[in-house]
Amino acid sequence: DAESNTVWADIEREDAHIDTAKLEVLFADDPTGARALAQQVDNSRRTRVRKVQVLGNQRRRQICVMMARLPHPEVMRDAIQMLDFAQMTQEQVELLLLNVPSHEEIQLLRHAENEQVIDENNVWDTAEEFQFLLLSIPHYKLRLQLWDFQNTFCEHFEDIASRQRDILRGCDCVLTSRGIRHLLGLVLVVGNYLNGGTSRGRADGFAIDTLIQVRMLKTSVHGSTQAEGSGGVTLVDYLVQQMEAQYPCEMEELFAPGKDGEKIRRAARPKLEDITEEI
């Protein structure tokens, strides 16, 4: 008949089925139904994503704390690649240098990279992703070291130059200060006298470290010499008395604040070996 040849007859024969539960959620009188379903779908997707972790918990926390003090990772990456000094502070560069991946950590990450499947359902966790970002930068550690050198060069240069100036001022005092010359002269005379009758009693000068022995020598009230720590007058006491007797007020002037004695003390602090190594 005519009805059997219509599209409706064909549809009836198809016997289509629908998800009535979903239909009710979407189109029921409660308008929150659609949002509820959408939330369910979103939550379902979210639970399927697995964050892959390979670093220890303490190390991961350390990296995350550091990241909170740094620019956005992509900004940081571009800044390191271009050595854009305007994008990160000196403290941020130092922080990165302190936390660069160790050799063992790099091996662990590379092994995980080969073993783990990373896709839309499996992603690196925040700390691991950050470390992989660093590793993607060519010579990242060398770049950070160069950046740190640039940041600290002026400070280090001034520190070394200041110590060098102290040494030069001390040397100049030894050569030109009248008080230093008189004091060293008395030490030389006393040393030659005490070493009379020996080759050491005819010295034209002495090594500076000889002065350490001067404060170690003491004499008892009976005139016998004793080691440091015992009672009696030290050779330093005797020299001060002789200095004051022959050159009145020179000792007071020599060791007054800012005078030659202070310059000598400042010159004695730095070690040439340390300065040479730092340079």
DSSP the chain: -TGGGSHHHHHHHHT----HHHHHHHHSS-THHHHHHHHHHHHHHHHH-EEE--S-HHHHHHHHHHHTTS--HHHHHHHHHHT-TTSS-HHHHHHHHHTSPPHHHHHHHHHHHHHS--BTTEEE-HHHHHHHHHHTSTTHHHHHHHHHHHHHHHHHHHHHHHHHHHHHHHHHHHHH-HHHHHHHHHHHHHHHHHTTTSGGGG-S---GGGHHHHHH-EE-TTS-EE-TTSSSEEHHHHHHHHHHHHSTTHHHHHTSTTSHHHHHHHHHSS-HHHHHHH-
What is the CATH number assigned to the segment(s) 50-138? 1.20.58
Angle between helices 103-115 and 126-135 (to 10 degrees): 110
- Packing angle between helix 260-268 and helix 140-176, nearest 10 degrees? 140
Q: How much is the pLDDT for 242?
A: 92
- Output the pLDDT for position 81: 94
15-35 as b/e: b if 16+ CB within 10 A? eeeeeeeeeebeeeeeeebee
pLDDT for 203 equals 82
Predicted pLDDT at 230: 53
Ranges for all domains in the chain classified under CATH 1.20.58.2220: 159-278
- pLDDT at 278 (0 to 100): 84
Strand partners, 234: 218
Class of the domain covering 159-278: mainly alpha
Determine contact, residues 130/73, Cβ cutoff 8 Å: yes
Question: What is the per-residue pLDDT for 167?
Answer: 93
The predicted model scores a pTM of 0.55
In 3D, which of 143, 137, 59 has the Cα closest to residue 97?
Answer: 143
Q: State which residues of the chain have pLDDT below 50.
A: none
Q: What is the pLDDT of residue 71?
A: 94
Per-residue pLDDT tens digits for 223-245: 555 555 555 678 888 899 999 99
pLDDT of residue 99: 92
Distance between CA atoms of residues 221 and 235, nearest Å? 13
Determine the pLDDT at residue 29.
Answer: 59
pLDDT in tens, 158-193: 999 999 999 999 999 989 999 999 999 998 898 888
pLDDT for res 218: 78
